[in-house]
Amino acid sequence: MDERTAMAVGAAGFLAFLLSWILHSRIVRVFGLGAAVVGGALYARQKFAQRADKIEAAEGAVRSTLDDLDPVARAQVMMDIARHPKG
């Protein structure tokens, strides 16, 4: 499932929720609220999966670059990273 589908489910649920106030229907309100929550959860799940993929790719690139260094240079880089983790 892609982002557009998740957003469509969430938007449809939100619109159904709004429509329930006009129609004074609890069934439509429950359905709309449920669909909005499900759509939001699906969207968040998709974003977390994309984030995990980016992290995995970056980790692979860093490991590959470190593997290309000689042991002393690798140790120096890792020591520098340990001392200055954010920059």
Domain ranges of the chain: 3-83
CA atoms within 13 A on the CB side of 62: 9
pLDDT score, position 81: 86
Structure tokens belonging to residue 6? 């998740």
Q: Which residue has the tokens 């974003």?
A: 47
Please, what sign has the CA dihedral across residues 52, 54, 58, 61? positive
Average pLDDT of each block of 10 consecutive residues along the chain (87 residues)?
87 92 92 92 94 95 91 91 80
The DSSP string of 15-59 is HHHHHHHHHT-HHHHHHHHHHHHHHHHHHHHHHHHHHHHHHHHHH
pLDDT score, position 85: 78
